[in-house]
Structure 1
Amino acid sequence: MMGYWGEAMAHDHPIWGDPQETEAARKVIAKIRITPGLTQRERAYIDAAKLLYGEGDRQARDQAYAEAMKRIYREYPDDLEAAGFYSLALLGSVEPQEPAVLQTRMRAAGIAMEVYRKIRTTRSWRSPPRNAMPKSLPTRLMRCTCLRTFSYSSGCGKKPQNRTRLRGRLQKNGSSKTI
């Protein structure tokens, strides 16, 4: 059910200034069925989306959605997604000509910075997983083994050597390859 919620939320563009794709979102919202397996938090997210795409003019729906996201944000303070969506809801709930636009945008920015600080202090942000990088990286390039394509454009990273030196090395190794 949360997949449908995500699809419905993709039809809202609070900071782009594009018109909301209300009809498409309402079709997706109609597919959502409240099942016993949903948590209270998931139900709150779905109810907020229903407010966003419900009846009425867009400004009233945006205000109602921002209030619903504020409740989720306060009820689940450790939910960083709730904080992010509340920040976006605040940005979408005011028109540029309103007198409170600066105050609302600053509040949204403060919430977004709070999310950034929480993410920044987690271990996963500061260092990659242990197996993401090899234990040791070569300090210099290895010797090229692509004798026939040994050129600047071969992509092996080595410069071409003198052909006579290379030919002598091949003869010394007993190779029958010709250059």
Structure 2
Amino acid sequence: MLLIQEHGFHGTPMSQIAKSSDVAIGTIYHYFPSKEVLILQLYDYCKQQMHSYIFDEMDKSLDYKEQFFLVFKCFCSFYRDHTDKFSFMEQFYSSPFFEIAQSKTSDGPYEENKLIDFLLRGIEVNALKKRDVCILSSAFIGVAVSFSKSVLYGKIKFEEKQLDDLIDIIWNGVKTT
């Protein structure tokens, strides 16, 4: 991921990946027949890591609002604690590889997406407004990513109170009355 972060997707040839990994180029191609396959699998890995970080230890006894706050905090925390994965995923979403990933799944952009499932559950239990889940996701993810970037780039100092206030603003915008 570091090579891609430094040189971008197109500026990182498979030979450089092999050299950095201290393996023969043939070994890389044995496991990944192309750079496209490697990048798509790396994206799947990062997404799985993020979902595990956020959802694997979720306390199911919490009510939906408490879970919403916890998921948002974990989302922000993941990006602060895993800047390499954050950088990779940011590059991925703004690259042609994202379109390739979209075209390879019949479920659209939200295949196996635990955050989307979480938001859909909120709608089903009448905790969230009945809105297009893509819009809810954009509100949730967009604000979390923006906050995380602001902290990472030193624009704001991380304070738990600010994060709680931010989540409260989002919650009040998406909750049912």
Rg (Cα) greater in structure: 1
TM-score, normalisation: structure 1:
0.26
Higher helix share: 2
Higher relative contact order (CA 8 A, sep 6+): 2
TM-score, normalisation: structure 2:
0.26
